[in-house]
Amino acid sequence: MNLTLGFSPCPNDTFIFDALVNNKINTNGFSFDTRLEDVETLNNWAIQGKLDVTKLSFAVYLKVKDQYDLLNSGSALGRGCGPLLISKEPLAPEEVKNKTIAIPGENTTANLLFSIAFPEAKNKKIMVFSDIENAVLNGEADAGVIIHENRFTYQLKGLKKVMDMGEYWEQTTGNPIPLGGIFIKKDIAPEKRAALDQLIHESLQHAYSQYPVLSDYVKSHAQEMDEAVMRQHIDLYVNQFSLDLGEEGHKAVDALMAAAKR
């Protein structure tokens, strides 16, 4: 069975899917047409129903629930891994509502978490996540919501943390932070969905069996990152919840969905 499969080129996703898409494990008859794209592109494609299996921000779940189901394996969910609000000059949280904020996509979990923390902040500028640091540095935006590897680089550029929005979420809900998950089209047979879920689990187990060695696949897609940053990225976003969301993970996703509805 051939499936279109979308995920980001970030190390956490390529680490998870490497063994599966490069036949390092037995794929049991599955083959994949892979698309590596920024997560907001994948979010927008899912609204159009473009791919069979795809990484998505949990924030877009409500918009695609009629087309896609969440798999148990492959998610980015945890503690201490949420998006950060950063600025060039010191900025008090009460000042944020009056500022221009760069966000990494309208449908991202980062935007949803920012909106939960700062419901009065309406002046948002949508950008590709990798452009946000420079936008804040050159004055295009007063502050920015950063994700992925930018968590490890913003201080080196002289930028300052205004708030850790993952920390805010954890403190106000008690739940881990649901960032993104792997979703599959509802019209794919349940037994095929279950088989693929297990294969993603096995693909990640294979990656862990080689770790901390990084494959060429991971390194080739992690542009402008040294291996230490790649490992930081993997250590932050890949964990037990990536192997299996479990009861705690699903509870956190449900809490985020309730917050999104509000």
**47's tokens:** 């609204």
- Residue 260 is encoded by which pair of tokens? 């999104």
Residue count of the chain: 262
Q: Is 8 annotated as a binding residue?
A: no
Distance CA 110, CA 128 (A): 12
Asked if residue 56 belongs to a known ligand binding site, the reply is yes
Helix, strand or coil, per DSSP, at residue 184: strand
* 50 annotated ligand binder: no
Of 148, 201, 206, 233, catalytic: 148
| Cβ within 8 Å of residue 211, ≥6 positions away | 234
DSSP 3-49: EEEEE-SSHHHHHHHHHHHTTSS--TT-EEEEEE--HHHHHHHHHTT
172 closest CA partner among 256, 254, 233: 256
Residue 120 DSSP label: T
148 is known as an active-site residue: yes
Nearest to 114 by CA among 136, 97, 131: 97
Q: Of 181, 195, 179, nearest to 3 (Cα)? A: 195
Is 256 assigned a ligand-binding role in the annotation?
A: no
159 is an annotated ligand-binding site residue:
no
DSSP code for 176 = P
Say which DSSP state 95 is in.
G
Please state, in angstroms and rounded to a whole number, the distance separating the CA atoms of residues 171 and 187.
38
Are 85 and 104 in contact, with CB atoms under 8 Å apart?
no
Point out the annotated binding site. Answer: 55-57, 109-110
Residues noted as catalytic: 148
Residues at the binding site for substrate are 55-57, 109-110
